[in-house]
Each structure stands twice: as structure tokens, then as C-alpha cells.
Amino acid sequence: MPPRRRRIWRYALAAVAAVAGVIVFANLRQRTPVDRSLWEVAWFKLDGGEATDAGGNVPALRISGPAKFVDGALGGAVRLDGMSAALDGDDPRGRLPSGDSPRTVTAWIRTTSTNGDSSLIVNFNGNGGSEFSPDNFSLVLLKSGHVAWSRHGRADVYLRREVAVSKSRVDDGKWHFIAGRFEGAPSNSASVFVDGDESDPVLMPLASPFIPGPGRFAAGNGVVRGTYFRGDIDDVRVF
């Protein structure tokens, strides 16, 4: 066979092998099980002046007060004034985790002030939004500038307030990635992360019998109002 024709055949065989490899890889990917439990239950990107859930599981959050949309850590973000601006919404179909189900909540935040008090960054409640609910999870900016992850009903009612507290402060005007993790029953282990650094774990058992109800979700404050968060929030996700 002439040298030129041999080269052409080598190129042709190499091309066929490459295509075959792509097909085999695609088939393997299709047959690999996907763990859907790792997907977001709710994902509020907060881009383009909207507070919609990218997956469509939870209705869009309502915006109250003088909230502004600004450049964020990942696209857009919402800027809250610490006085009356917040976002809140409902979970009528019960898509958010509740009871003893495991869950993780993440967000990007930027702030220079604790607003003189502890303020709620993200809060959701799987028991009808009652402040007495034992199923009330929150990411909180503490007065100390640290981030807390808590599960509680009203502390003066249930006499318990399990809290995981971050090792570092976040009130320095820089973007920080925060996350609250709850493993669910039976371990009930929970911790909070700031920029990947995990706090000491705590136990967050259910404080009283849980009666499921329509859930509620809020950012910048709680489903029951308290001190408002002052700063920017971006890319809020619930797993």
C-alpha cells in the first residue's frame, strides 16, 4: 500500500476509535445512577431583579421594603437596608425539608454591620410559620459578627436553643460563603460553615412532637419578624 494511503487509513482508524470512545463514555454516564438527593430543593439565584426559585419547586419570594438588586458574588444579589427590607414566601406543596429530614442551607453574604443585634439571614419553618414551631431552622448573623445555625422554637417556651457558631467573623465587607448542615435523625448532628471552615458540631434533636404544616421561607429576616439583616445576600440554596 502506498505511504500516503497508509497515513489516510491511520487517520481514519484514529477518528473511528475517538468516536467509539465518546459513545462508550456517554453510555456509561447514562447508566451511572444520579443521586437526586444532592440536588437543590430550592435555589434563589437573585439575578435580574427577581427572587424566583430556579427549579420551580417553591413560589417566588415576595420583596418587602427598599431592597435593591446589585452585583453579587455569583451574578446578581439583593441589598437589604437593615430596617424594613426582606424577602419571604410560602411552601404550599411542602417541598422544603421538614421534621427530622436532613437539610443544608447555603448563601453568599456581604456585610459590614451586625445592626446592633443578632439578625436572621435565612430562616425557614416547616410548621406553618409559627414562632412556636420546633421545626424552625435559621442562619443567623450574631451580634459578635459570627454566623450561627440554629433549630428552635421560641426559647422561652421550649427552653432549648441548639446553636452551632462559626469560628470566624463575617462583618468585614467581603463576600463569604456560609452553610448550615443538619444530618437528620437519628444522629441529629449539625454544624455551620464559613468559607469551608466547619464549626464544632452540636446536636439538634426535635424539641417537641412535630405537626407538619404549610412551610414558610424568609431571607433578611425571619418568617416571624425580628431584627433585619443589613447587607447583601446572593445565591440562596436549600438541599
The pTM of this model reads 0.79
Set of cell numbers at residue 223: 418568617
Provide the pLDDT for residue 11: 40
Of 227, 221, 17, 223, nearest to 121 by C-alpha is 221
* Domain residue limits, the chain: 1-32, 36-238
Segment 216-229, tens digit of pLDDT: 899 998 887 788 99
Which of the given ranges, 97-101, 111-115, 151-155, 197-201, has the highest pLDDT on average? 197-201
Strand-pair category, 103-110 with 230-238? antiparallel
In whole angstroms, how far apart are CA 9 and each of 12, 22, 158?
A: 5, 20, 78
- Name the DSSP class of 175: -
**Residue 35 banded pLDDT, cuts 50, 70, 90:** very low
| Tens digit of each residue's pLDDT (9 = 90 or more) over 177-214 | 999 999 999 999 999 999 999 999 999 887 666 666 67
Q: Which fold has domain 36-238?
A: Jelly Rolls (2.60.120)
* DSSP-assigned states of every residue in 185-223: TTT-EEEEEETTEEPPPEE----S------EEEEESS-S
By residue count, the chain amounts to 239
Write the CA distances from 23 to 10, 29, 80, 175, integer angstroms: 20, 10, 50, 42
For 133-147, the DSSP string reads -S-EEEEEE-TTSEE
> Do residues 166 and 146 make contact, with C-beta atoms less than 8 angstroms apart?
yes
Task: Tell me the DSSP string of 1-16.
Answer: --HHHHHHHHHHHHHH
